[in-house]
Structure 1
Amino acid sequence: MKLRSSIVGILALALIAATGCSGAEESTKATAGGGTTLEKTKINIGTIPVVDTAPLQIAMEKGLFKAEGLDVTLTTLAGGAEAIPKLKSGALDISFGNYVSFFSADAKGVIDLKIVSDGFQSAPKTHTIMVAKDSPIQTMADLKGKVIAVNTKRNIASMLVRAAAKANNFDLDEDKNFVEFPFPEMEGVLKTGKADAAQVVEPFGTFIGQNIGARVIWDTSQGPTADFPIAGFAATSEFVKASPNTVAAFQRAMAKAMALAADRANVVAIIPKYTTIKADAAASLAIGGFPTTLNATRLQRVADTMHEYGLLDETLNVQDLIAAPSSK
């Protein structure tokens, strides 16, 4: 009996020691810069190699995620639409994407999302409507009844164009007035006359103007869509609920990166490192804004505009989709 008791006691002590060691080791591995314990230290973030994601790249280069205890892997997406199924499957923990796609997917019940960080908003010349050099179209009003190329119908591109049309007292129909082409093909679209005009974003606007002399007839960063919220970072509600400290660490790192992106020089310097845009070309690009705070009132503009143009069947309260940033 004594021998059995001794063995049980030794095993119990060994188990306690092993458990204690394991807990201490895990705690050490999962401590954020703010001193909180992270539920998950290794996270996968979806990104797109465009100017809009410059702050994310700055955070990686400057070690801002590491300072928060996060080991981040970036997964390059072909487009924002790819983010939805990858978030839903768990292949991505957080992803960059445009707000129209995020809000639409959530409203339709495709996925239950939370916005965890703002990403990018338009500025003069970042989102424009262009025509060929020799086009008879001179003003936005001349596009009445014409065909405009957009990268995706019933999304942010066509919505911005429709808002521009309404500001000029006419309407455009999603099916009759829009055709879809990827942004890299827009130069050829204008050159060959496959569409009367094209909605383009940087860097394509600058390059198309330089290459074929295409003209800007309307800058969508004015009037009702001036400084318009374009994109941000989202996660599933399930991930946010299960990993609040991890999300807060991501938010702190991104807030610092956004602040650094306010200096144009930092953005211009990082762009050639993750895109095919060369340094001299990066210096000539129009660059939008990188909000440092996640503001529901600002993002509500997107949802309200979507509802106005039939991209949402009912009004959406964006506040319900906001993952409150950490106060630390």
Structure 2
Amino acid sequence: MTRKLRCHAIVIGVTVALTLAGCGGGGESSNSSANTNGLEKTTIKVGALPIPDPVSLYIANAKGFFKEEGLTVQPTIITGGAAALPQIESGALDISQTNYVSTFVAVGQGKKIKLVADCYQAGPNTFNIMVPQDSTIKTVADLKGKTILVNNLNNIATLAVETQLKVAGLTKDDVKFSEKPFPDMGNAIKGGQADAGWITEPFITANQSANGFRKLADTMTGQTENLPIAGWMATEEWSQKYPKTLAAFQRAIAKAQQLASTDRKEIEAMLPTYTKIDAKTASVITLGTYPSELNANRLQKVADLMLEYGYLKSPIDVKSVITAPASG
């Protein structure tokens, strides 16, 4: 997602992230195999936003999936995929959540980044344009001349809104985008600082409940239906230096993604442990999906859309950005 997605910079007020100590010494079967093969690095720091998108990271820790691989993962809170890029380049983070728009922008600028695992894909009503209940804005066409809050300029937020403006016969030049963190959007719109906001969960539910906001448009329809939002990235150098460590991470996160995609209760139980989303809200918020493997064809859709709307100057072959899991 979403979320600073991603896609996107998000501040939710964070509880302490889960951390597993100990890296599973001389176990049997898969544990023994992983340790015998010798992970190049047994403890890694992984950047994640305190939102639903990276829930599989915490599921994998809680269920012992990383430990089974001989790996200790230390989640580290980040403010957005773009903001995390300098941290993985410097080595402060080994792997980080990222939104695909930020990633492809960076790749287009020559950054040596690899996508190593999928994280989150949009579903219906997971990223909506919202307005106050009594707003005179009734359709997307009514946004002409209006101010729309987004969590990040020139990123997944503005791209998603632009696709809806196009359907309504408008362009980005017909509106004004203004940057505001998701938690602050509701009060800013109520206070007259903007007319509408591009909002994701849990803030969609929160603003409906607390402020009486209504949905103007689901931005994940048409060109953006089922749009891939967020994944896990590492630098090309790190991926080449620690291939066994990376493969261990990929196996564990794929297992957790599979669990998240088939059992919502696992997500609901985990969200309150690393976000400010309480159990009641976790049970009602709208969620996207959690793909268990990177698919170049799906991700190419994002890069092609970015090229169409001017976020990229030249095409990107997404296959060249993906580091596939090692066999075995």
Q: Do Structure 1 and Structure 2 share a fold, with TM-score over 0.5? A: yes
* Residue number in structure 2 paired with 1:120: 120
Residue 192 of structure 1 and its aligned partner are, at CA, apart by 1.3
Hey, what's the Cα distance between the residues in 2 that align with 1:34 and 1:40?
11
Distance 2:43 2:59 in 1: 18
Tell me by how many angstroms 1:221 deviates: 1.7
Asked if the contact 1:32/1:69 (under 8 Å) is kept, the reply is no
2: CA distance between counterparts of 1:290 and 1:52?
8
Q: Give the structure 2 partner of residue 13 of structure 1.
A: none
CA distance in 1, matches of 2:241, 2:32: 16
**Cα distance change of structure 1 residues 185 and 287 upon mapping to structure 2, 3 Å threshold:** same
Residues 32, 67 of structure 1: 8 Å contact kept: no
Tell me if structure 2 keeps the 8 A contact 1:294–1:325: no
Secondary structure at the counterpart of residue 298 of structure 1: helix
The alpha-carbon deviation at position 31 of structure 1 amounts to: 5.8
The answer to whether residue 47 in structure 2 is matched with residue 36 in structure 1 is: no
Output one character per residue of 1:93-152: Cα deviation in whole Å (capped at 9) or x when no partner. 10001111111112112x310000000011112100000111001111211232211011
**Gap change, CA 1:32 and 1:277, over 3 Å in 2:** farther
Aligned to 2:52: 51
Question: What residue is the counterpart of 1:5 in the other structure?
Answer: none
Q: Which moved more, 1:198-207 or 1:96-105?
A: 96-105
In structure 2, distance between residues paired with 1:247 and 1:123: 28
Deviation at 1:34, TM superposition (A): 8.7
Structure 2 residue aligned with 1:304: 304
1:33 Cα offset (Å): 4.2
RMSD across aligned positions (CA):
1.8
Q: Which runs of 5+ in 2 are unaligned?
A: 1-24
Q: Deviations over 1:247-270 (max 9, x none)?
A: 111110011000110111111111
What displacement does 1:211 show?
0.6
Q: Quick one: which amino acid aligns to residue 71 of structure 2?
A: L
Q: Is the 8 A contact 2:115 2:321 kept in 1?
A: yes
Give the structure-1-normalised TM-score: 0.88
Q: Does the alignment pair 1:107 with 2:142? A: no
Is 2:91 the partner of 1:90? Answer: yes
Quote the residue 1:3 is aligned against: none
Match of 2:182 in 1: 183
Q: Aligned partners of 1:118 and 1:44: how far apart in 2?
A: 18
Counterpart of 1:193? 192
1:189 is aligned with what amino acid? A
1:32–1:249: 8 Å Cα contact kept in structure 2? no
Q: 1:35 Cα shift?
A: 5.9
Give the corresponding residue for 1:130. Answer: 130
Contact kept, 8 Å, 2:26 with 2:35, in 1: the verdict is no
Go from structure 1 to structure 2 and tell me whether the alpha carbon gap of 1:173 and 1:32 turns closer, same or farther (over 3 Å shift).
farther
CA distance, structure 2, for counterparts of residue 200 and residue 35 of structure 1? 47
Which residue number corresponds to residue 145 of structure 2?
A: 145
Aligned mates of 2:239, 2:92 — CA distance in 1:
15
Q: Kindly tell me the number of residue pairs found equivalent between the two proteins.
A: 300
Q: 1:101 to 1:207 in 2, by over 3 A?
A: same
The one-character-per-residue Cα deviations of 1:280-312 (angstroms, maximum 9, x if unpaired) are 111110011000111011111111111111111
* Corresponding position of 1:294: 294
Aligned-pair identity in percent equals 46
1:62 corresponds in structure 2 to 63
Distance 2:62 2:173 in 1: 44
Match of residue 255 from structure 2: 256
Q: Aligned partners of 2:102, 2:61: CA distance in 1, in Å?
A: 25
| Offset of residue 168 of structure 1 | 2.3
Q: CA deviation at 1:28?
A: 6.1
User: Is 1:78 aligned with 2:83?
Assistant: no
Q: Which residue of 2 aligns with 1:318?
A: 318
Deviation of 1:213 (Å): 0.5
Find the aligned partners of 2:57 and 2:107 in 1 and give their Cα distance: 24
TM-score, structure 2 length as denominator?
0.88
Partner of residue 243, structure 1: 242
Partner SS, residue 179 of structure 1? strand
1:210 is aligned to: 209
Query: 1:167 aligns to what?
Result: 167
* AA in 2 matched with 1:279: A
SS at match of 1:44: strand
Q: Distance in 1 between matches of 2:54 and 2:68?
A: 20
Cα distance, 1:31–1:323 mapped onto 2, change above 3 Å: farther
d(CA) in 1 for partners of 2:157, 2:32:
41
CA displacement at 1:326 relative to structure 2: 2.4
Q: State the AA in 2 paired with 1:234.
A: M
